[in-house]
Copies of this chain bind each other. A is one copy, B any other.
């Protein structure tokens, strides 16, 4: 293995000169040329451990995600990754398998690894989270959930909910079933629902029923196969695309036609909503953009620049085949 020392000897300079050359310090034209050549010939690459040991920081950015097999996660990962790579940062992905405790553990674990910054796809920001963020002293960027504890990038949930609510009204539906999720999830469980409900409840002669279901397709599908049997609503407004998919499949199973007998919509803009027939009305969230902004802003933060505490991204309402006028 070739080290900075070897290079220095071969070039007949001190290793500090080589180091300066490497880190963009000032070196004479001639030295630069020799070094250019020698480093190329020897295929020298600096030892990242020695570097990191010295500067007490790495070029690693940690990202904590709840699960690997989610469309949203993947979109975000991909764009964060792409963005960081351009700036020659490495993404260290840690998956918590939906275990909130492990989010906190990993905050500490990543700080031990001396990551320069952390992106956290948050589900719920607890006291333990805040404590960890304070303690480790590394910039943390939250994605998907609001919290005044640190910087956050979120989706415009209320706006999206309202758009979908208006859509249902516009199509003339009077009996509407809302399938939501736990209110522990501030973004999806509370705000998204609020957006929908504010619109529906302010309208005349609308009958809204509400039910809480699970994020998981299988669980929700099994539940809905029974639950939907004696429902009479003509529009099922689902809090996520996965739930919409389950509602769709359950409706079909019960012999109802979509959208002829019942309209169904989701939220998220997962690509699968386009693959099924009929395609599913949804709001596409700006996952890619969220990832890009997260990466860019985190890097800015690392350079000591100021960035906004909170950014909210608008989604795009996409009416498709699964909803039609009554």
The answer to whether A48 touches B113, judged by C-beta atoms less than 8 angstroms apart, is yes
Chain B residues near A93 (CB, 8 Å)? 91, 93
In this assembly, does A174 line the interface, its C-beta being within 8 Å of a C-beta of chain B? no
In this assembly, does A49 line the interface, its C-beta being within 8 Å of a C-beta of chain B? yes
Chain B residue at minimum C-beta to C-beta distance from A253: B277
Stoichiometry, copies per complex: 2
Chain B residues near A69 (CB, 8 Å)? 71, 74-75, 78
User: Which residue in B90, B95, B276 is a CB contact (below 8 Å) of A78?
Assistant: B95
Considering only CB atoms and an 8 Å cut-off, how many residues of chain A contact the other chain?
40
Once the chains are docked, how many angstroms separate the CA of A282 from the CA of B272?
A: 18
In A69-85, the 8 Å CB interface with B consists of 69, 71, 74-75, 77-78, 81-82
The answer to whether B82 touches A97, judged by C-beta atoms less than 8 angstroms apart, is yes
User: Which residue in B53, B71, B249, B272 is a CB contact (below 8 Å) of A277?
Assistant: B249
Chain B residues near A90 (CB, 8 Å)? 92, 113
The answer to whether B82 touches A77, judged by C-beta atoms less than 8 angstroms apart, is no
CB distance from A30 to the nearest CB of B (A): 28
Chain B residue at minimum C-beta to C-beta distance from A245: B275
In this assembly, does A112 line the interface, its C-beta being within 8 Å of a C-beta of chain B? yes
Chain B residues near A276 (CB, 8 Å)? 275-277
The answer to whether A49 touches B53, judged by C-beta atoms less than 8 angstroms apart, is yes
User: Which residue in B49, B97, B249 is a CB contact (below 8 Å) of A52?
Assistant: B49
Once the chains are docked, how many angstroms separate the CA of A77 from the CA of B68?
A: 8
In this assembly, does A252 line the interface, its C-beta being within 8 Å of a C-beta of chain B? yes
Q: Mark A273-286, 1 if CB is under 8 A from B, else 0.
A: 00111000000000
Chain B residue at minimum C-beta to C-beta distance from A67: B78
Once the chains are docked, how many angstroms separate the CA of A52 from the CA of B97?
A: 28
CB distance from A108 to the nearest CB of B (A): 9
In A240-297, the 8 Å CB interface with B consists of 245, 248-249, 252-253, 271-272, 275-277
Chain B residue at minimum C-beta to C-beta distance from A135: B43
In this assembly, does A114 line the interface, its C-beta being within 8 Å of a C-beta of chain B? yes
CB distance from A109 to the nearest CB of B (A): 9
The answer to whether B68 touches A78, judged by C-beta atoms less than 8 angstroms apart, is yes
CB distance from A78 to the nearest CB of B (A): 5
In this assembly, does A45 line the interface, its C-beta being within 8 Å of a C-beta of chain B? yes
Chain B residue at minimum C-beta to C-beta distance from A75: B69
Once the chains are docked, how many angstroms separate the CA of A96 from the CA of B93?
A: 15
Known: A69-B78, A93-B93. A112 touches B45 (CB 8 A): yes
Chain B residues near A249 (CB, 8 Å)? 275, 277
Chain B residues near A215 (CB, 8 Å)? none
Q: Mark A30-42, 1 if CB is under 8 A from B, else 0.
A: 0000000000000
Which 3 residue pairs are nearest across A and B when measured between Cβ atoms? Answer: A49-B53, A69-B74, A49-B52
Q: What are some 22 contacts across the A-B interface (CB < 8 A)?
A: A1-B56, A48-B114, A49-B50, A49-B114, A50-B53, A53-B53, A68-B74, A68-B78, A68-B81, A69-B71, A69-B75, A69-B78, A81-B95, A90-B92, A92-B92, A217-B271, A217-B275, A245-B275, A248-B277, A249-B277, A252-B277, A272-B272
